[in-house]
Structures are given as structure tokens and as C-alpha cells.
Homo-oligomer: A and B are copies of this chain.
Amino acid sequence: MKNFVFENKTKIYFGKGQIENLGKETARFGKKVLLVYGGGSIKKIGLYDEVIGRLNDFGLTVYELAGVEPNPRHTTVNKGAAICKKERIDVLLAVGGGSVIDATKAIAAAAKYEGTDCWDLVSGKASVKETLPIITVLTLSATGSEMDGGCVISNMDTNEKLGYFAPDNNPDVSFLDPTYTYSVSAYQTASGSADIMSHVFDVAYFTTSDQMDMLLRVQEEVLKTVVRFAPIAIKNPENYEARANLMWASSWALNGFIYDGLRQSAACHAMEHELSAFYDITHGHGLAILTPRWLRYVLDEKTAPRIKRFGVNVFGIDRTLSDSDGADASITALENFYFVTLGLKSRLSDLGIDDKNFKIMAEKACKVRGGSLQGFATLYPSDVEKIYRLCL
């Protein structure tokens, strides 16, 4: 195992009705709030009115940035940062899923940046020095952005989707009320669940390195939680226990609890970001399509034991199988879970994607990570292109 540093400043209010603490927590940071949200689903479920009411109770002045896109655009971030500078905003309040929270994080940094284009920060041309405080109210269990310091922003002018990480970019306070995810569709629940699992897979679980045994087992528990509760939430959207387990699992998958210093290049995330950047698809769905093909592509003597262990401990496949057969059965179990149990379409062609851009996407995916994707196996652009083809 490697050495690691753990630090997570985010304060979590978990459970039904915790929104009653929103006004008090927001007022700690100042008087002027920029409320950031997406396409308006928060109005349908009554959350918008609830939030405004809570802020009004504490006499806060609320500005708004609505319409954040599912893959949030750098232009939207720039718009938010301009409001912050003009109105001297004290604190940002993101109400939504990972896209809204990611956009809010970039706004928090861009608001304190002397330049006018947040892309300087996202692309690493300039570094994040200071940020505005961030509060989030989560409405989708998926990205883990509610309790980590990462954010991913898209630039559709250049077909780029890039992420950066800054510890100061962790939300200060996040409200996780499972009832706010009752209205999440079966499709978004399935995609979000694949996203949660992919964070566990991609950052630490699928590796040939040693890990702290306790954390490896806990990673498996987070995966088992998704496998157990995602189908329940899809079948019965208002099952509190299922929504609660998925919600806390989404945070655990990325908040640092389950890692011991092993941070890989997150191969599937790198490949998926190109899919979203070119085709604007749902991130978690792209990950669900890519992951089993990636596992089959990297399956060899070195990787087979961990892939088999995954299937044994998470899906209960027969532990007496050989490493190779066990790994094969594990991947099949994952495919069945994504494409049968959760009902996600299994092929890029089902999403209207053909092979036209695979070569350039493969090159870009590797370029972002310094020329190749390291980790469970080393992938060069020619490998990535082959994996995309396996997904067709």
C-alpha cells in the first residue's frame, strides 16, 4: 500500500428534512447568494420554493443562474463568474446534480480569478488560488461532486471535456436528502449508479498494486450497495432506504474514505469524457458501455485475479473457477447488471454514435493523461480506439 493524505472539509447534512438547516449554514458565509441550478426540475419537485423560503428566512439576497447543462459548458461558468464579480457574491448555492455542482465549483474559482475565461483554470493554463464558499443541495446520486474537490467542464467549441481537482474546491456544506431523488427517472438512476460504480473501479479497485485490505473490502461493500439498491430504486422510486443507500454511496465512491493513496489515471473516465465531449451523452451511460469492454480488453494473467475477485465478492460468482474463467464470468455479470437489470442500452450505436471520430477521440483521451492511460493496464491511442470499436 502507498502513503496517503486524507482531508475532507465538507460538512454533510444527511436525511429527510435537513433543508431546515440551509438558511443558517448559508448565512455563515455572508449575505449575497448566487443560486445555481439546471433545467428547472427543482421547480417541479417544489425544492426551488423551499430553498428560496429558507434563504429569505435569514434575510439573504438571492441572485440566480439557471439552465446549467447536463455536461456543463465553460460559457455558462463564465456567465456565473461575471455575476459574482458584478454583484460581489459571498457564497454559491448549487441545487441539482453533479453538473450543477461542477459548474458551481468552477464559478467559485473563476469568480476569484483576474481573467475572464474560466477555461484558463479548467485547462490548467492558470491555477486555482482562491475560491468562493460553496453549499450544495444534491438531487441526483451519481458523481460524488457533493463531497470532493473535482469538477469537469465542457468546451463545445473545441470538443474538450476536462476536469481538475483542488482541495479548496470541496463544498463547505452539502445537503443530502434522499427524497429529492424520488423523481429521478429510471434511466438517470441507472446511469448514476453506473457512475458511482465506475468511480470505485476506475480510481482504485481495478489495479494490480497492493492495497490496504480493509479498504479493498469496503470498496466492494460500496459496489454491493449499488448492485443491491439501484434495482430497488428503479422499481420503486420512492423507497427511502434504496435512495438513501445510493446517495451516501455516491459520496463514498469519491470522497477519499475508500482510497489509500492509489489514484490511477481513471482510464474509463478518460475515454468517456471524449464521448461526452463529442456527442454530449449521459456520462454514466457512457461509462456503463465502456467498462465491460475495457475489462475484456485488459484481461490477462496479471489482471484476471482482481477481476475474478470482483465477481466473487460483488456478484457471488463461483470462487472455484479458474482466474481466467472467473474473470470472464465477472465481466458477464457486470454486463448483465448494466444492460439487463438496469436496462441501459449496451452499444454506442444505440446512441447514434459511429466510428467517425474514434481515432481523434482516442488520441485526445491519451493526450490529456500525458500520452497513455496508466493503471490496470497501459493503453495507447491504438488500444483506446479498439476499445471504442468493441463498444459499437
Q: Looking at the complex, which of A29-37, A211-219, A339-347, A362-370 is the stretch in contact with chain B? A: A211-219
Q: In chain B, what residue has the closest Cβ to A257?
A: B257
A313 to chain B, nearest CB (A): 11
Distance between Cα atoms of A15 and B241 in the complex (Å):
36
The answer to whether B11 and A6 have CB atoms under 8 Å apart is yes
A333 to chain B, nearest CB (A): 19
Distance between Cα atoms of A4 and B257 in the complex (Å):
17
Taking CB atoms, residues of chain B closer than 8 Å to A7 are: 11-12
Asked if A354 is at the interface of the complex by the 8 Å CB criterion, the answer is no
How many subunits of this chain does the assembly comprise? 2
Distance between Cα atoms of A150 and B307 in the complex (Å):
41
Distance between Cα atoms of A241 and B229 in the complex (Å):
33
Taking CB atoms, residues of chain B closer than 8 Å to A11 are: 5-7
The answer to whether B214 and A241 have CB atoms under 8 Å apart is no
The answer to whether B248 and A212 have CB atoms under 8 Å apart is yes
Looking at the complex, which one of B9, B213, B228 makes contact with A213 (CB distance below 8 Å)?
B228
Taking CB atoms, residues of chain B closer than 8 Å to A6 are: 11-12, 14
Asked if A389 is at the interface of the complex by the 8 Å CB criterion, the answer is no
Asked if A373 is at the interface of the complex by the 8 Å CB criterion, the answer is no
The answer to whether A245 and B212 have CB atoms under 8 Å apart is yes
Asked if A222 is at the interface of the complex by the 8 Å CB criterion, the answer is yes
Q: In chain B, what residue has the closest Cβ to A256?
A: B12
Taking CB atoms, residues of chain B closer than 8 Å to A249 are: 214
What per-residue 1/0 map shows which CB atoms of A1-36 lie under 8 Å from chain B?
111111111011111111000000000000000000
Taking CB atoms, residues of chain B closer than 8 Å to A16 are: 3
Taking CB atoms, residues of chain B closer than 8 Å to A8 are: 8
Taking CB atoms, residues of chain B closer than 8 Å to A225 are: 213-214, 217
Taking CB atoms, residues of chain B closer than 8 Å to A69 are: none
Q: In chain B, what residue has the closest Cβ to A8?
A: B8
Distance between Cα atoms of A4 and B12 in the complex (Å):
8
Distance between Cα atoms of A5 and B174 in the complex (Å):
10
The answer to whether B14 and A5 have CB atoms under 8 Å apart is yes
The answer to whether A5 and B13 have CB atoms under 8 Å apart is yes
A31 to chain B, nearest CB (A): 24
Q: In chain B, what residue has the closest Cβ to A11?
A: B7
Q: In chain B, what residue has the closest Cβ to A245?
A: B214
22 A–B contacts, CB within 8 A, in A order:
A1-B241, A2-B15, A3-B14, A3-B16, A3-B17, A3-B18, A4-B12, A5-B12, A5-B13, A6-B11, A6-B14, A8-B8, A9-B9, A15-B261, A213-B229, A214-B222, A214-B245, A214-B249, A214-B252, A217-B225, A218-B218, A257-B257
Q: Given A4-B14, A214-B222, A257-B257, 18 more contacts at CB 8 Å?
A: A1-B15, A3-B13, A3-B15, A3-B17, A4-B12, A5-B11, A5-B13, A6-B11, A7-B11, A14-B260, A14-B261, A210-B241, A212-B244, A213-B229, A214-B249, A217-B221, A218-B218, A248-B260
Query: Interface on A for B, CB 8 Å cutoff?
Result: 1-9, 11-18, 210, 212-215, 217-218, 221-222, 224-225, 228-229, 241, 244-245, 248-249, 252, 257, 260-261
